[in-house]
């Protein structure tokens, strides 16, 4: 049990998740400071904080590591097809089951989750614990964040253009490029000069990242509670949503395991494929929800990714420990022979 708790903490399932829940509770009790018309302008502050998050992220990415990761192209293709094609196709297949107007809004939030990039830190942690291909995990998780700046708005544009209103794809990509891509590339350029500083102070940078996400979550849910967007959601609906998110994770996990076997991946590459290809990024979800859904809808759009984020960490940490034990057992057999 202690090992599971330590693993969950390394992956981010610790006080941060409790803090996220606290932000939602605070937004419900006291939404005024996070509203758009608030004199505190917290939403604007969170926008600038997002750019700093991705600047520090780029600062820890060395061009050499990215170049070295290009070799294993079959693994990379599989991971990104899972992240940006398999996930959304599954969501589209289940769209007819969401009939009502409230159901369509929830489906849109779930679809938004499925088109998000893979997460970085927890993917690498899980691959490391399960004794997978760590350099490939770092490469895939890093590239996924950059690809998502273009692919996520494109997918959302295809869905939103089919409904009422107009979705300005170029405007959205432009905003994300300014808020995400530009800071990342600035960080990569400055990696040789300041990269050591970022690595040395990564604990404090992580605290800053988490604080920024908490602020985004608070302001998003303030708007949603202020506009009574969650009035139709009860405990039963949230429980069913959680079960659906868990089913989505395991569905993708078993599919990737099966496909990895068909492609005759090594054990290390198989581990990397199933963990990197089944994760979704809460950070990117928080950032993109601000750009794609400015207003009270942002809080609702974050609900599935928050549930998926927590549940994927719990499930993945259990699986990673089992894979680690299997890897140790296999090594012992080889040594004996």
Q: Residue 165: left (phi > 0), alpha (psi -120 to 50), or beta?
A: left
108-139 pLDDT, tens digit per residue, is 999 999 999 998 777 777 888 888 887 788 88
* pLDDT for res 203: 82
Most confident of 3-12, 53-62, 260-269, 287-296: 260-269
Q: What percent of the chain has pLDDT over 90?
A: 21
* 177 within 8 A of 51, measured Cβ to Cβ: no
Question: Within 10 A of 93 (CB to CB), how many other CB atoms are there?
Answer: 9
* 141 within 8 A of 276, measured Cβ to Cβ: yes
Q: With helix as H, strand as E and coil as C, how does the chain read?
A: CHHHHHHHHHHCCCHHHHHHHHHHHHHHHCCHHHCCCCCCCHHHHHHHHHHHHHHHHHHCCCHHHHHHCCCCHHHHHHHHHHHHHHHHHHHHHCHHHCCCHHHHHHHHHHHHHHCCCCCCHHHHHHHHHCCCCHHHHHHHHHHHHHHHHHHHHHHHHHHHCCCCCCCCHHHHHHHHHHHHHHHHHHHHHCHHHHHHHHHHCHHHHHHHHHHHHHHHHHHHHHHHHHCCCCCCCCHHHHHHHHHHHHHHHHHHHHHHHHHHHHCCCCHHHHHHHHHHCCCCCHHHHHHHHHHHCCCCHHHHHHHHHHHHHHHHHHHHHHHHHHHHHHHHHHHHHHHHC
Give residue 194's pLDDT band: very low, low, confident or very high (50, 70, 90): confident
Q: Walk me through the domains of the chain, giving residue ranges and CATH numbers.
A: 2-326 (1.20.1530.20)
Give residue 274's pLDDT band: very low, low, confident or very high (50, 70, 90): very high
Most confident of 131-140, 182-191, 215-224, 268-277: 268-277
| pLDDT, greater one: 175 or 335 | 175
Question: Within 10 A of 328 (CB to CB), how many other CB atoms are there?
Answer: 11
* pLDDT for res 51: 82
Q: Using a cut of 0.85, tell me whether the model's pTM lies above it.
A: no
Q: CB-based contacts of 222: which residues, under 8 Å, 6+ apart?
A: 27, 31, 32, 33, 34, 35, 299
Q: Is the pLDDT of residue 45 over 80?
A: no
* pLDDT for res 36: 66
Gap between the Cα atoms of 75 and 264, Å rounded = 11
Nearest to 13 by CA among 320, 312, 327: 312
Give residue 260's pLDDT band: very low, low, confident or very high (50, 70, 90): very high
* pLDDT for res 116: 94
* pLDDT for res 322: 84
* pLDDT for res 269: 92
Average pLDDT, the chain: 81
């Amino acid at each position: 049990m202690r090992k599971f708790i330590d693993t969950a903490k390394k992956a981010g399932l610790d006080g941060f998740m409790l803090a996220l829940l606290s932000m939602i509770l605070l937004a419900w009790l006291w939404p005024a400071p996070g509203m758009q018309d608030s004199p505190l302008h917290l939403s604007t502050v969170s926008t600038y904080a997002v750019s700093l998050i991705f600047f520090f992220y780029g600062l820890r990415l060395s061009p050499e590591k990215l170049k070295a990761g290009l070799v294993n192209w079959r693994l990379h293709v599989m991971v990104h097809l899972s992240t940006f094609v398999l996930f959304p196709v599954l969501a589209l297949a289940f769209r007819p089951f969401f009939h009502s107007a409230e159901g369509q809004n929830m489906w849109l939030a779930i679809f938004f989750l499925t088109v998000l990039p893979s997460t970085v830190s927890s993917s690498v942690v899980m691959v490391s614990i399960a004794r997978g291909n760590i350099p490939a995990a770092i490469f895939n998780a890093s590239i996924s964040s950059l690809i998502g700046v273009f692919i996520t708005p494109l997918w959302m544009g295809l869905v939103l253009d089919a409904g009422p209103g107009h979705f300005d794809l170029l405007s959205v990509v432009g905003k994300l490029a300014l808020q995400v891509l530009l800071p990342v590339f600035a960080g990569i350029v400055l990696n040789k000069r300041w990269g050591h500083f970022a690595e040395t102070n990564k604990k404090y940078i992580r605290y800053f990242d988490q604080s920024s996400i908490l602020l985004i979550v608070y302001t998003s849910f303030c708007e949603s509670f202020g506009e009574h967007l969650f009035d139709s959601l009860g405990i039963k609906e949230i429980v069913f949503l959680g079960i659906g998110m868990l089913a989505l994770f395991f569905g993708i996990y078993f599919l990737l395991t099966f496909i990895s076997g068909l492609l005759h991946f090594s054990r290390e590459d198989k581990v990397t494929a199933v963990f990197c290809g089944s994760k979704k990024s809460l950070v990117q979800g928080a950032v993109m929800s601000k750009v794609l859904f400015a207003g009270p809808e942002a809080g609702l759009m974050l609900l599935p990714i928050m549930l998926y984020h927590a549940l994927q960490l719990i499930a993945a940490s259990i699986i990673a420990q089992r894979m680690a034990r299997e890897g140790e057992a296999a090594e012992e057999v080889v040594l004996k022979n």
